Amino acid sequence: MQRIIVTGGAGFIGSALVRQLIRETADEVLVLDALTYAGNLASLREVDAHTRYRFAQADICDRPAMERLFASFRPDAVMHLAAESHVDRSIDGPSAFIQTNVVGTATLLEVATAYWRGLDGAARDAFRFQHISTDEVYGSLGPTGLFTERTPYDPRSPYSASKAASDHLVRAWHHTYGLPVLITNCSNNYGPFHFPEKLIPLVILNALDRRPLPVYGAGDNVRDWLYVEDHARALRLVLQRGRPGETYNVGGSNERTNLQVVETICDILDKLHPCAEEHDKCLQKNDKRSFCQPSTINHQPAKAIKSYKDLITFVSDRPGHDKRYAIDAAKLRGELGWTPLETFETGIRKTVQWYLDNAWWWQPIRDKKYAGQRLGRT
């Protein structure tokens, strides 16, 4: 049993990790989250009454707060996921990304190092600081090749540059101060409880509302998709068995173009939630959920469609849009024995079904926080 601080634990990946830790281990977990726009305690409803779960609303840039929480909880490990993480938002407002991802990580490293130095013997030897990062720090690939742990950094957006800076800080604390750190760089995650500004949940919810499904450029940008539960398992494995000072790439080996992803979601929805048939059922039941109502855009009636693919709309590309990401996870597989349990086909079907079944989670977000508007236009 360990006592683990999870920063950003009310976010998408963080909450998946926390739910796994409480469900599948005997660990005690303290979630630290500032609850900015994407932080959502509803994502932790499954565990919020559990005796091994605690929550503190706190900003990782607030050093006194971090010191108090470290002193009171006495962690054996820190799993650091707190970050601003949406590329489009980093284009609109890069300062928030620098503050959280760079300054916040530096603050957390300083607090963790002081705490670690105060530990005795076995507790000091066993302590770990795990930093969770992204494959976007590596830049953009051509039509072939994979990112490895030795790929030089070449970040192209304010978001990826801020994450690259945080990665470098974590390595510097290891080499300069001896802090036992672990770094993971993951490919694009998807799954339940994903804030709906990201591609997959945005497409699902726009489709249910019969709104346009925006595809940047020609839709030929490639991403390597990783189911979030598989990622959480990888993070736990790295924490338990990873070698301090090492980096581990985590990828699903599921390369798809953005257009392929959108078309796959449409195909699944056409089977699980046929447009005309489901709308008629909703009207008969007088169901008021948004996906049961004819949506409007700029006060115009939603278009009649036979397939959700009819909603696909090509829009201007994101500025500086990286062409292709793909992860080589051979080190993680070979050294630690990790393998993903979900293919893209099984994971995306589970994801679409989850959004169909859980309007209680996403409807308040669509109503109050983010309604699907375009971000990152410059």
pLDDT in tens, 13-64: 999 999 999 999 999 999 999 999 899 999 999 999 999 999 999 999 999 9
Catalytic residue among 59, 84, 88, 135: 135
Q: Confirm whether 135 is a catalytic residue.
A: yes
Flag whether pLDDT at 75 surpasses 80.
yes
Please check whether the domain covering 3-194+227-253+323-342 is classified as CATH 3.40.50.720. Answer: yes
Identify residue 126 by its one-letter amino acid code: A
pTM: 0.93
Domain segments of the chain as ranges: 3-194+227-253+323-342
| DSSP one-letter string for 221-239 | -EEEEEEHHHHHHHHHHHH
Segment 243-279, tens digit of pLDDT: 999 999 999 999 999 999 999 999 999 999 998 555 5
Ranges of H-type helices in 178-303? 199-208, 228-241, 258-272, 275-285
In sequence order, the 6+-apart residues with CB closer than 8 A to the CB of 188 are 223, 224, 225, 226, 325
The per-residue pLDDT of the chain, averaged, comes to: 93
Flag whether pLDDT at 71 surpasses 90.
yes
Q: What is the DSSP letter of 143?
A: S
- Residue whose token pair is 């959480």: 232
Rounded to the nearest 5°, which phi and psi values hold at 168?
A: -65, -40
Catalytic residue among 159, 216, 227, 308: 159
The reported pLDDT for the residue numbered 297 is: 35
Segment 111-122, tens digit of pLDDT: 999 999 999 999
**What's the distance, CA 274 to chain centroid?**
29
Distance CA(34)–CA(218), nearest Å, equals 37
| 297-to-119, 181, 293, 352, 357 alpha-carbon distances in Å | 58, 48, 13, 23, 24
Residue pair 83/9 in contact by the 8 Å Cβ criterion: no
Catalytic residue among 27, 59, 88, 136: 136
Mean pLDDT lowest for which of 79-88, 240-249, 305-314? 79-88
Q: Confirm whether 136 is a catalytic residue.
A: yes
Q: Confirm whether 138 is a catalytic residue.
A: no
Distance CA(94)–CA(99), nearest Å, equals 9
In sequence order, the 6+-apart residues with CB closer than 8 A to the CB of 99 are 61
**Beta strand 222-227 pairing with 255-257:** antiparallel
Distance CA(239)–CA(248), nearest Å, equals 11
The reported pLDDT for the residue numbered 284 is: 55
